[in-house]
Each structure stands twice: as C-alpha cells, then as structure tokens.
Amino acid sequence: MKLVTAVIKPHKWEDVREALETFGVTGMTVSEVSGYGRQKGHTEVYRGAEYDIALVPKIRIEIVVDDADADDVLGIVVKTAQTGRIGDGKVWVSPVDTVVRVRTGEQDDAAI
Amino acid sequence: MDGYYAFMLVATLLVLMMTTPALALFYGGMSRSKSVLNMMMMSFVSMAVVGIVYVLWGWSMGWSGDGTFFADPFELFALKGVATSDYIYVMFQMTFAVITAALISGAIADRVKFSAWLVFLPIWSTLVYFPLAHMVFSCTDAALICSQIGAQDYAGGTAVHINAGMAGLVLAIVVGKRVNWPKDKMRPHNLTLTMLGAALLWVGWYGFNVGSIVFGATFEEDPNAFLEQFYSETGRTFANTTLATMAAILGWLLIERMLHGKATSLGAASGIVAGLVAITPAAGAVDISGALAIGAIAAAACAFAVNLKFKLGFDDSFDVVGVHLVGGIIGTVLIGLFSTSDGAGGVDGLFYGGGLGSLGDQTLGVLMAIAYSGVLTLVIALAIKYTLGWRISEDDEIGGIDLSEHGENAYDLHTGVGGGVKSGVLAGAIGGPKEGIKA
C-alpha cells in the first residue's frame, strides 16, 4: 500500500476530487494548510504599513491506495491540479506498512 | 418647535449609534482576532460609565452657568432642576462625551486592564472632556475657547477630536507598546467589520454635525428667523459633511495609491473618518468648495500621518493620533482660511477676504485644546500607571486579552479537535460531496 500526499492550490481541490472519484477513489483526508515553496509569500499594505505574508494557503490531500493504483492516482492529481504557473504544489508517494478499518478491524487491502 | 424637537430625538439616536456599534466595529475589525471583544467592550463600557457621570455632574459642569474652564458641577447634579422637556439636549451632549472617551481606546488596543480603563473613563471625562466641552460648546461669556479666544468649532474639532487624539497620544506613550510591536505590525483581522463601522460612523455623524445647530433666537422670540436659520444651516452642515467626506475618500485613496501602489478598503474607511473629523469643526463655517478642500487636504495629511508612529515609536494602535488629532487640527485651523461670513460663525477667513484674524483665533483654540488635554491626560495616565497599573501581563497579552480579561473568544471557527475545515475554501464542502466550492 502507498500513501499519496498532495499539496495543491485551494481552487483546484474540487477538480482533483472529481477526477479521483471518477477513477474510483472512495475516500480521502483533506486539510487546509499553509506553507511556501520557491514562490514565497506576498506583501500586503495596511494604512501604509507593509506586511510580509510568508505563508500561502494550500490544500493537503492524503489518500491510501493499493500499490497498483499509486502511479495512476499520482498522475491524476498532477494532471488536474496543474495550472503551469508558480505555486501549483507537490505530490509525493510513500510506503504504508499497515492499515486498519476502525469499524470492523479489517486489515490492509481490505481496509482501503 | 415640534420639528426641531423631533429632529433632536433623531440626531441624538444617530450619535448614540456612533459609539455602539459603529466605533466598536471600526476598531474591532482593525484589532487582532484574539482581542476584538476587548476592543469592542472598551466602547460599550464607555457608553455605560461616561453616560452616567455625564448625567450626574457632566451636564452641570458644562451648562449650569458661566466659567472660564467649567461651570458648577453640583448646581444641576443628576439633572436636579432641569426641565424634562430639556432632557433631550442633555442626552445629545451626553452622546458626545461618550464617543470622545471611546475614541481614545483605539490608541491602546490589546494590552490594557479592563479595570484600569473603567477607572480612567470617569476621571478623564470629568477632568478633561467636561471642561473642554464647556470651553467650546457652552459659549458662555467667560468660556475660554468659544468666547475668550473666539475660535469657531461647530461640532467638536477641538473638544472631541483634538482632545481624544491628544489623550490617545499621551496614553499610547504612557501605557507603552504591545509585545513585539513594531516588529510585528499586527495586521487587521476583519476589514469588513471596519468598513461597516466606517459607514455607520458616517451616517451617525449627521446627528453629530447637523444636530449641533445653535439658534440665534428661539422660535418663540422670532419664528421667521428661527425657521430661516433651521432650514439654511442644517442644509449647509448636511451638505458640507457629505461633500468633505466624499473628497476625503478620494484624497486618501490617491495618496496611498501614489505611496504604496494600491487603493485599499482600509484606506477608504480611514478616509471617511478623516474627512468627517476635519469637517466637524467647519461644518457650519464653510461653503461647498471649502468643504471639498478641507476633506481632501485632511485625508491626504492623515494618510501621511498614520506612518509617524512607526518613525517616532509610539504604538497608537489604530491611529487615533494620525486621524483624530491630525484631522481635528487641520479642520479647525483651515476654518481660518475657508470660513465665510455667510456661514454660522459670520466670519470671513483669509481666502474670503477676512485677513488673518480668524486664522489666529483658530490656531490659538487648537493650541489651547492640545495643551489642556495633553497636560491633564498625562497627570491621569501617570496616576493610574503608578497605582492600579495599566498593563495586563505579557503572557496574557500574547495569549489574547479576550481570554484573559473576559474569558471569551470572539470566533469558534475550529469545531472539534483542531479541525479547521469549517473555515476557508473547504467550508462549502462540509455539507456533502456535491456541495463543493463551485456550488
């Protein structure tokens, strides 16, 4: 099993979710996060005082998938979240040892 | 006169609205989310405390008789002997006392013990506002600014705005900076509240300025003269208040666009208040072109002045100095240039062929208000500093004054344990899979 973690632009989240559902992904964990990459933040001015806003809002999606689906899911996220402009985010895949469905106690593949 | 009485009821209600909710919203939006409730509470309790002491002895200090600085505080104590048909004038003047004290709170946001503010309010009103209101508004023979100096101040450029601005400056210095200021400049947390507050202030200000009409003759003495003055002067003050504020919005936006590249919503809200402050003393004295000039000049000057605190190092949190002190000085002094003898004061300023006399009177009135408010506020501020103490602890300030002083938080955006999905882009998606951000 693999954990696919994607950090994307907030306005692309709905497109990514629809594409993943169409592919057959049944669930995911989504959170609002902040951060910055090479693009850094931006400047805001209030009554003449400049504020460096270092952090940019992003959406983080976490999905646990079968090994066989990992590359497809990765590809779907990259394809749908891509705008080609700076700040599109990152996706990474990491190995998962064990998964348990809390309700039933089912393990691993059965729990995905 | 029935019409005038009904007009005063409405004007008084409008000025009441300026403190709560208008000023509370205006300042509350500029505060940080962890201190918005305390900021709003400072206005709310100003209403309660100053309102009561005004009725007990404030009206008497202002209006019971003659005096250079104030009249007898006990003669009309608790309105003893005041006819109930005159109560509405007491209430109208009371609302001025309330908002003047509340204005100061913007200079000392996020860091002052609620108890210290509650003690400051009645003492400052008694020793500083009530005397200045007498000197400016009562206009008895000995009243210092109105009669002895002869400065024009229609609705309180000196007694209200220079006074509150000066008190704000003194308190900001005596109370001291917020933790981490100015390294952390502390960005406003909700500018929609501030925009709403500024707009409500603007509407309420018509009560403030237009309601400040003082008649040369009563209706009983001379009905025609009374009505003629009522109709023409309220029209003038209403139009001047409107046009000056409009010019001030544009003035502020233009300056900040030139200085910082963007025209901001906070700039528009600030321009509204700066324009209203500046036209307050001049509302009856000037014509339309004078009002436009005063609004534009005041807004441009205030847009520069709000940066002084960073250069000089005093934490006047929401620019009570930059807007009220500077705007009040400009509006009051410019009467000396733009006053017209057609206006309420019957005096021509420099630009209307009246020479330098009016400019001199106005400047002297301004200096008197600055000196009186500055010295007396300093004494009160230091007395509180070395007895009660002004500041909450550093830990409490960092944790948020709403929690430490009031045991509350303004917002509950994060339901559950550190969830956070109730806010921001995901908020629309919480209802179900089909209700995404596109819906």
Q: Which domains does chain B have, with CATH numbers?
A: 2-406 (1.10.3430.10)
Q: Which residues of B touch A21 (CB under 8 A)?
A: 433
Determine whether A38 is exposed, middle or buried from the number of CB atoms within 10 Å of its CB (0-12, 13-18, 19+): exposed
Examine the pLDDT at B309 and tell me if it is beyond 70: yes
Q: Give the total number of structural domains in chain A.
A: 1
- Cα torsion A80, A81, A84, A89 to 10°: value is -150
Q: Where does the pLDDT of residue B430 fall: very low under 50, low under 70, confident under 90, or very high at 90 and above?
A: very low
Q: Where does the pLDDT of residue B436 fall: very low under 50, low under 70, confident under 90, or very high at 90 and above?
A: very low
CB contact under 8 A, A13 and B426: yes
Distance CA B185, CA B286 (A): 38
What are the tens digits of pLDDT across the range B171-227? Answer: 999 999 999 999 888 999 999 999 999 999 999 999 999 999 999 999 999 999 999
CB contact under 8 A, A14 and B436: yes
Distance CA B120, CA B192 (A): 30
Cα dihedral sign for A89, A91, A97, A101? positive
What are the tens digits of pLDDT across the range A17-61? Answer: 999 999 999 999 999 999 998 878 888 889 888 888 888 899 999
CB contact under 8 A, A31 and B420: yes
What are the tens digits of pLDDT across the range B286-299? Answer: 999 999 999 999 99
What integer pLDDT is reported at residue B426 of this predicted model? Answer: 58
In contact, B31 and B102? CB cutoff 8 Å? no
ipTM of this complex? 0.72
What are the tens digits of pLDDT across the range B377-424? Answer: 999 999 999 999 999 999 999 999 999 999 999 998 755 444 444 445
For residue A70, the domain's CATH number is 3.30.70.120
Partners of B183 in the beta sheet?
Answer: none
| A57–chain B Cβ distance below 8 A for any pair | yes
Q: If you count residue pairs, one on A and one on B, with CB atoms under 8 Å apart, how many are there?
A: 63
What integer pLDDT is reported at residue B414 of this predicted model? Answer: 57
Residue B288: closest CA among B223, B231, B240: B240
Is the pTM higher than 0.90? no
Three-state secondary structure call for residue B285: coil
CB contact under 8 A, A32 and B437: no
Domain membership of residue A27 as a residue range: 2-111
What integer pLDDT is reported at residue A43 of this predicted model? Answer: 85
Query: Which range, of A34-38, B11-15, B48-52, averages the lowest pLDDT?
Result: A34-38
